[in-house]
Structure 1
Amino acid sequence: MIEHITLFIISLIANTLSSLAGGGAGLLQLPAIIFLGLPFSVALATHKVASVALGVGASIKHLKHGQFSLPLVVIMIIGALPGVILGARVIVEIPPQLSMWALGALTIALGVYSFLKPSLGQTDNLKNLNLRGYLIGSLGLFIIGFLNGSLTSGTGLFVTMWLIHWFGMAYGRAVSYTLVMVGILWNGTGAVTLGLVSQIQWDWLPALLLGSLMGGYIGAYLVIAKGNKLVKRCFEVLTILAGISLWIKASTY
């Protein structure tokens, strides 16, 4: 019982912060699952399944807010899901240390970049909504999708920044796309793929799913209620912490 309560509390905190920042739930949730005794591949598959509930919880609030564009939804599916599947199949075959070091550096760079640009993502200035823009946007999402399938923490943060940088979204809008599309479709695809090549700790899922669902909803409520400034600050803090977490994990793996 204590184990399940601990899992719920960690999941609730991690997914509330992730829902606010647009990614990074694995910063707390995945290391905690590993610390409690699961092998890396089993912990990753279990975390991916639980992360789907984050997207469900966030979508309950964000979909009511109504700010989704069909072409962008389509490229986030067609462009990214092949990368997610490929990444999830690759991760069980390669040592993750080098990838963790590289991803950690890139994740920290995202936070520093955002911090150095105070006006970034504060208003919607949509751009690249044409065929060329969608094709390049899809390529970027494919690469991030591969990282999402193969690595553990922070790839949702990359999606959020890519949507802000390439399509000119404000933080709030970008986070809503990330949580709904990445949380449900990307993580769902990754969870199924990992479940086929690894295994899932099913008896841990109820606590993790409940924490993810509630955290996703609470974070989405705060995004809509408090606006882009709070989301930007949370994004910057979570990216830097996620990058440091990946470095620590790589050095002790």
Structure 2
Amino acid sequence: MLFDQLILFVISLIANTLSSLAGGGAGLLQLPAIIFLGLPFSVALATHKVASVALGVGASIKHLKHGQFLPALVLIMIVGALPGVILGANVIVNIPPVISLWALGALTIALGVYSIFKPQLGQSDELKNLNMRGYVIGSIGLFVIGFLNGSLTSGTGLFVTMWLIHWFGMGYGRAVSYTLVMVGILWNGTGAITLGMISQIQWDWLPALILGSLLGGYLGAYLVIAKGNSLVKRCFETLTILSGLSLWFKAIW
């Protein structure tokens, strides 16, 4: 039991440090590891969701001190996305996700490839679409991603990061800070509560997972602020491609 807790902590620390750097993808390592150690998918997903909230808390300690959040963008990430998260969390327990895993895997890999072929993408803050039309379209995009976050969980934070870069013109560093604080705490918290009500949570596994998430979130946030957009971009590209391949692997097995 102690050995399992140590494994969970190490995997959680690595997964959440990388996720905090790239703006998503903690489920790439953490969720499959929980399933491998013996939990059914729905229980593993709910347990992972709760632990992922700690990633947002750990990252927010550093990012909120840095101070770069616009109230309007925070609002649409709540109002636009949370209904999608709740809907997705209710859908996942009833629908086999194989087709969605293949499609989401392909889209996730495409994000990484797109970023690779756009060297200047997200290298600086050039905010745009900060008007009513922009907020409405931005909310629709976030609702769709929120649905994926609630249902499939793995790597959807990466979609939020890219959406914030593409639609609102953020640099990678700023986009990652929004993703980790908003998705990590509010989206995953909502998903965890919803899944906890319709499934169950493996509470005795959470201490190791939460500790790894907290430390990983803080460490990754520190590196984002210290090293800037270039490092974050490379981590994002790596994590998107690996996350997409992981989704395909889960679809096969």
Q: TM > 0.5 between the two?
A: yes
Q: TM-score, normalised by structure 2?
A: 0.99
Rounded to whole Å, the distance in 2 between the matches of 1:177 and 1:46 is 23
Aligned-partner SS, 1:165: helix
Aligned-partner SS, 2:107: helix
Structure 1 residue aligned with 2:225: 224
- Residue 35 (structure 1) shift: 0.1
Correspondence 1:6-155 to 2 at 5 A? 6-155=7-156
* Counterpart AA for 2:141: G
1:17-37: CA deviations, max 9, x gaps?
Answer: 000000000000000000000
Rounded to whole Å, the distance in 1 between the matches of 2:141 and 2:203 is 33
Aligned-partner SS, 1:153: coil
* Counterpart AA for 1:119: Q
Rounded to whole Å, the distance in 1 between the matches of 2:36 and 2:101 is 18
1:59-82: CA deviations, max 9, x gaps?
Answer: 000000000000000000000000
Rounded to whole Å, the distance in 2 between the matches of 1:58 and 1:5 is 22
Structure 1 residue aligned with 2:199: 198
* Counterpart AA for 2:21: L
* Counterpart AA for 2:77: M
1:208-233: CA deviations, max 9, x gaps?
Answer: 00000000000000000000000000
Rounded to whole Å, the distance in 2 between the matches of 1:189 and 1:160 is 19
- Residue 14 (structure 1) shift: 0.1
Structure 1 residue aligned with 2:242: 241
Total equivalences in the alignment:
252
1:166-200: CA deviations, max 9, x gaps?
Answer: 00000000000000000000000000000000000
1:70-99: CA deviations, max 9, x gaps?
Answer: 000000000000000000000000001111
Structure 2 residue aligned with 1:164: 165
* Counterpart AA for 1:15: N
Rounded to whole Å, the distance in 1 between the matches of 2:97 and 2:9 is 27
* Counterpart AA for 2:232: V
Q: Structure 1: which 4+ aligned runs deviate by more than 4 Å?
A: none
- Residue 152 (structure 1) shift: 2.7
* Counterpart AA for 2:204: D
Aligned-partner SS, 2:200: coil
Aligned-partner SS, 1:232: helix
Rounded to whole Å, the distance in 2 between the matches of 1:171 and 1:179 is 12
Rounded to whole Å, the distance in 1 between the matches of 2:223 and 2:233 is 12
Aligned-partner SS, 1:162: helix
Q: TM-score, normalised by structure 1?
A: 0.99
Gaps of 5+ in 2: none
Rounded to whole Å, the distance in 1 between the matches of 2:158 and 2:242 is 12
1:140-175: CA deviations, max 9, x gaps?
Answer: 000000000000310000000000000000000000
Rounded to whole Å, the distance in 1 between the matches of 2:186 and 2:249 is 29
Rounded to whole Å, the distance in 1 between the matches of 2:83 and 2:55 is 21
Gaps of 5+ in 1: none
Percent identity of the aligned residues? 84
* Counterpart AA for 1:78: V
Rounded to whole Å, the distance in 2 between the matches of 1:100 and 1:212 is 24
